Structure 1
């Protein structure tokens, strides 16, 4: 499929009435394995991708490094829509980020509000929304309905805010207004907070889960019942597989 069709498929998958699960992959092998398990779309996690390259998360990779991984993964599953975690944008303008992401074959992206290239400072509400808006404008200009997943790190940095829930809602509403197709309040601390976010936000909400033990809410069935639109695993899938790998080979140790 072409990029326009892949992007439309990915967007439509967010609005089926069922929870879309996007396992986070990190190389061509893991992408093919997940696609062969009949998942209709995939996500590339920055953390597992960096680990697979022997590099660190939080933009320790360069954008060239990250897009090299994205290109290899998209090339391995050409008929499957892929969304990529591109951290805070690697210090490049939105138009360049969208152009280069599309060239690599991805039709969705995560962008967070912690700017790793600038000492880990957090973008203001307006600054992050403006960046999301720039991404939307560039994607629309390219004729591809890129699924922008706007992430906020408020719950990871909750000590910095008097009311983290209100702050997250303000930030994510601004991102929705700017053109995000999904929002990602990473680190939601409890079920009640998630319910509040789902009530207050108008579009799809992404929740992180551990594929072995579920999410802060529980297993997929409970997320589905709450109306969660999208689930990703972040680095958890790769980390859980590492334990299995160790167990598999340990009894062969001389």
Structure 2
């Protein structure tokens, strides 16, 4: 029988620069089963799509328990590795976060540096790295190499002066890498030059966000990306198609 530890190890091995793991962002058992039927090897659960699906706002408008309820339904429906976007941690202790994720069968997490419960402030670079280290320690104590994807919002939120914004994002993520992250996520839709710089200068596999109906998978691979997820954009694309179909009947 495949253990959580085995599943986590196999998930980490999927992260290959130039041959990225494509992780469709799902929000319920239905969307997860769609991705499995399409042949994907792992999934990520997005906070924005889950919150939308239960009628609550993103940015920690739902609780961690709300999220775990949905993840339980997804992991019961599929046998693939599942990673979970835990936003900025819901104000909970790292051990509680890790215990909750492992308890519902997840083997990865995204942790971002925007603290939604504190007015959307950005964690200081070392503060975020320390949280990453605490999550790593909690997972190690549970004896599961849960895959920690450290995210920074510096570029996406256009924090600070543009001239050194990428420098600051890289510096933040290097601290997270040193603290025990497995994957680094400078979230945002980047130019070719910026994406290549990120993959060249960051010391761990890099996650890129993609628009499933617009982004070129081959280009991301050529840029050295190791992991691709869709954030809310798969749900948005499906909603646009649903709206088109529904409009035919108005």
Query: One fold, TM greater than 0.5?
Result: yes
Which position in structure 1 is the counterpart of 2:199? Answer: 198
Which position in structure 2 is the counterpart of 1:28? Answer: 29
Distance 2:206 2:17 in 1: 14
Give 3-state SS (helix, strand or coil) of 1:228's partner.
coil
Q: Which runs of 4+ in 1 moved over 3 A?
A: none
CA contact (8 A) 2:20 2:226 kept: yes
Q: How much has 1:249 moved relative to structure 2?
A: 2.7
CA contact (8 A) 1:155 1:188 kept: no
Which position in structure 2 is the counterpart of 1:123? Answer: 123
Distance 2:50 2:185 in 1: 19
Gaps of 5+ in 1: none
Distance 1:76 1:159 in 2: 39
Which position in structure 1 is the counterpart of 2:137? Answer: 137
Q: What's the CA shift string for 1:43-95, capped at 9, x where partnerless?
A: 10100010000111000001111111111111111x21000000000001111
Which position in structure 2 is the counterpart of 1:54? Answer: 55
Q: How much has 1:194 moved relative to structure 2?
A: 1.2
Distance 1:113 1:165 in 2: 15
Distance 2:244 2:101 in 1: 37
Distance 1:188 1:238 in 2: 17
2:166 equivalent to 1:165: yes
Give 3-state SS (helix, strand or coil) of 2:156's partner.
helix
2:36 equivalent to 1:39: no
Distance 2:157 2:19 in 1: 31
Q: How much has 1:188 moved relative to structure 2?
A: 4.5
Gaps of 5+ in 2: none
Which position in structure 2 is the counterpart of 1:112? Answer: 112
Which position in structure 2 is the counterpart of 1:2? Answer: 3
Distance 1:11 1:56 in 2: 30
With 63-72 and 44-53 compared, the bigger mean Cα shift is at: 63-72
Question: Closer, same or farther in 2 for the Cα pair 1:133/1:68, shift >3 Å?
Answer: same
Q: How much has 1:16 moved relative to structure 2?
A: 7.6
CA contact (8 A) 2:49 2:235 kept: yes
When the two structures are aligned, how many residues end up with a matched partner? 248
Give 3-state SS (helix, strand or coil) of 1:105's partner.
coil
Distance 1:59 1:32 in 2: 25
Distance 1:95 1:47 in 2: 23
Question: Closer, same or farther in 2 for the Cα pair 1:16/1:188, shift >3 Å?
Answer: closer
Distance 2:60 2:209 in 1: 20
Give 3-state SS (helix, strand or coil) of 1:154's partner.
coil
Give 3-state SS (helix, strand or coil) of 2:149's partner.
strand
With 14-23 and 92-101 compared, the bigger mean Cα shift is at: 14-23
What TM-score comes out, normalization by structure 2 length? 0.96
Distance 1:14 1:159 in 2: 28
Distance 1:224 1:200 in 2: 16
Distance 1:189 1:170 in 2: 17
Q: Which one of 212, 225, 228 corresponds to residue 228 of structure 1?
A: 225
Q: What's the CA shift string for 1:136-176, capped at 9, x where partnerless?
A: 00111111111100000001232424611110011000111
